[in-house]
Amino acid sequence: MTIAEYNICVDEFADRLYRFALKTLNRSDSANDVVQDTFERLWIKRETVNYEKVKSYLFTTAYHAAIDVIRKNKKVADFDSVNPNAHSTTKGYSDLQEILHEALKRLPEIQRSVILLRDYEGYSYQEIEEITGLNESQVKVYIYRARLTLKEYIKTPEAVI
């Protein structure tokens, strides 16, 4: 990969990597660190990384860096201990995006990652398989379970609207 191609990668993927890391970690400073670390690793390996496969390399690296941050901070999401009634609305509050972000925070790290890759970033099951190292059936199961959990958290449209 040339320096010009590297610069194109930074311009093209920095924002998307940041959004992915931010939704995964829920902290902007940690997301910035993950993005910076990802591009640093790409710079170090620029001679061996194929430019056509740089997108997969970047998201795989960002995914692993985010998991490292989560493990380092020992943040464990325990969704079973959440009281859904404490986070539901009864006064007609309609900021669906805020409700979805809150629901995403409650998911276990692997479910949150695959949902973000599939539904927010638009990756195929095969691409998610490459990024996370899971097999395709595991990816589908985690996405299915995450969607069920999100559906249960949101409950009904009347609670959201």
pLDDT of res. 159: 46
pLDDT of res. 58: 92
What's the CA gap between 34 and 28, in Å, rounded?
10
Name the stretches of the chain with pLDDT < 50.
75-76, 159
| Domains of the chain from N-terminus onward | 1-75 (1.10.1740), 77-161 (1.10.10.10)
pTM for this one? 0.55
What's the CA gap between 132 and 117, in Å, rounded?
10
Q: Which distant-in-sequence residues (6+ apart) come within 8 Å of 13 by Cβ? A: 54, 55, 58
For 22-48, write each residue's pLDDT tens digit.
888 888 888 999 999 999 999 999 889
